Structure 1
Amino acid sequence: MRKVVLIMTMSVDGYVVGPVGMSTGGFPEPAELKRWKLDRISRAGTHIMGRVSYEEMGPYWQKSEDAYAAPMNDIPKVVFSKTLKEATWPESSIAKGDLHEEIAKLKKQPGGEIIAWGGAEFAQALSKAGLIDEYVILTRPIAYGGGKPLFSGLTDALKLDVLVTAAYDNGTMLRIYAPR
């Protein structure tokens, strides 16, 4: 059975988006980290995301010449939305059903891992529902003091085992966790 892997960038104080939409972007990505991410993303069988991320990422990756563009455009994508009428990004479809049921269907399909991209609300919903098998967290050296946190609305503590840690020269920390 395939696993669901959340890849998320956040600030040192735990926010994936700062106040008024400030993002954790703007940090040059070290070549070693880019190679690692590109390899991981390229092996995915499916990308999943919420509507907001889908609407932001689709137009960007379709025009991009970045090395990430090919796996983002070529690998099937599923957008989770009750309101989106049409999936216009090539290789994409819409999941409108129950989150647990839709994820269960995807996990039973053959292929590489399922990479979840967010946004914040989608990541929170997956986490709260216990649907994430692995968390790949990139922590940037910036603090916001507010915004949208990665973890919100948990009804119980989420205990994690650390699988991998790595530090990069731009201050980014990579940590990979698995729920206990």
Structure 2
Amino acid sequence: MERTPTMRKLVVSTFLTLDGVMQAPGGPSEDEENGFAHGGWMVNYWDDQVAAAMDDLMGKPFDLVLGRKTYDIFASYWPHASEEEGAGPLNRAVKYVASRGRPTLSWDKSVLIEGDVAEGVAALKQQDGPELQVHGSADLIQTLLRHNLVDEFRLLVFPVVLGSGKRLFADGTLPAGMKLVQSTVSSNGAVIGKYEPAGEVVIGEFGQD
């Protein structure tokens, strides 16, 4: 989908390992699906530059688009952590939730995306309102990628390799070029980059003398 100037931007913000794993960066019990045993892999790399990148992302009005698992993780914590940094923006945001069922959404300002998720998110982008941000939500992101709904990637890549786990760009991701528009490296080695889709992959070949 080509974004017009009046559409809401949809931004995917993700913590990643060097081999592209995004599963359970924040704690051992965050997401143990498929026997994932490395939850919390990102915590010891947090530093001032990573914190500043997150402050920049969340320092302006935004709404959230979340998969059901990430929503449940956030909803079990942030409404009860109002004194923590970052809690205010998350609690104030409207939370649009993608789910195959009809869950009870107890977190204030939570809205279930009805019907087809891709169509629902596309409709949200057409509405007036602040930027739409996706945090976590590995399965949902695959749907957004397949339907070309992501306008920007904020990727924080940490110097660790896990070998297995849910990946941001999973099998079946459509080939696409990316443009790096901003980057920095944190004191603990995290590469913080902002990327925008840049059309099709351009194929070339090195010539021979």
- TM normalised by structure 1 equals 0.91
Q: Give how far 1:81 is off.
A: 0.7
The answer on 1:22 being equivalent to 2:38 is yes
Bigger radius of gyration = 2
Letter in 1 for 2:8: R
1:171 pairs with one of 171, 189, 192? 189
Q: Percent identity?
A: 27
Q: Within 1, Cα distance between the matches of 2:15 and 2:149?
A: 19
2:170 pairs with one of 132, 148, 152? 152
Cα 1:21–1:88, aligned 2, differ >3 Å: closer, same or farther? farther
More helix by share: 1
Q: Give how far 1:21 is off.
A: 4.8
Q: How many equivalent residue pairs?
A: 180
Q: Give how far 1:163 is off.
A: 1.0
Is the contact made by 1:165 and 1:175 (CA closer than 8 Å) also made in structure 2? yes
Is the contact made by 2:152 and 2:197 (CA closer than 8 Å) also made in structure 1? yes
Q: Give how far 1:5 is off.
A: 0.2
Is the contact made by 1:12 and 1:140 (CA closer than 8 Å) also made in structure 2? yes
Cα 1:125–1:21, aligned 2, differ >3 Å: closer, same or farther? farther
Q: Per the alignment, in what secondary structure is the counterpart of residue 155 of structure 2?
A: strand
Q: Give how far 1:96 is off.
A: 2.9
Q: Within 2, Cα distance between the matches of 1:87 and 1:21?
A: 28
The answer on 1:40 being equivalent to 2:57 is yes
Deviation digits for residues 97-141 of structure 1 (CA, Å, limit 9, x no counterpart): 212321122112222210011321111221122110001111111
Match of 2:206 in 1: none
Is the contact made by 1:62 and 1:73 (CA closer than 8 Å) also made in structure 2? yes
Match of 2:12 in 1: 6
Q: Give how far 1:89 is off.
A: 0.7
More strand by share: 1
Deviation digits for residues 61-94 of structure 1 (CA, Å, limit 9, x no counterpart): 1122321111011111111112142211111111
Cα 1:110–1:17, aligned 2, differ >3 Å: closer, same or farther? same
Is the contact made by 2:23 and 2:166 (CA closer than 8 Å) also made in structure 1? yes
Q: Where in structure 2 are the equivalents of 1:17-166 lying within 5 Å?
A: 17=23, 20-23=36-39, 24-64=41-81, 65-154=83-172, 156-166=174-184
Q: Within 2, Cα distance between the matches of 1:22 and 1:106?
A: 34
Q: Give how far 1:155 is off.
A: 5.4
Deviation digits for residues 5-37 of structure 1 (CA, Å, limit 9, x no counterpart): 000111011111276152343125322432332
Q: Which runs of 5+ in 1 are unaligned?
A: none
Instruction: Please identify, of 31-40 and 86-95, the stretch whose mean Cα deviation from structure 2 is larger.
Output: 31-40
| RMSD between aligned residues | 1.8
Q: Per the alignment, in what secondary structure is the counterpart of residue 55 of structure 1?
A: helix
Instruction: Please identify, of 59-68 and 31-40, the stretch whose mean Cα deviation from structure 2 is larger.
Output: 31-40
Q: Within 2, Cα distance between the matches of 1:76 and 1:155?
A: 28
Match of 2:3 in 1: none
Q: Within 2, Cα distance between the matches of 1:21 and 1:54?
A: 21
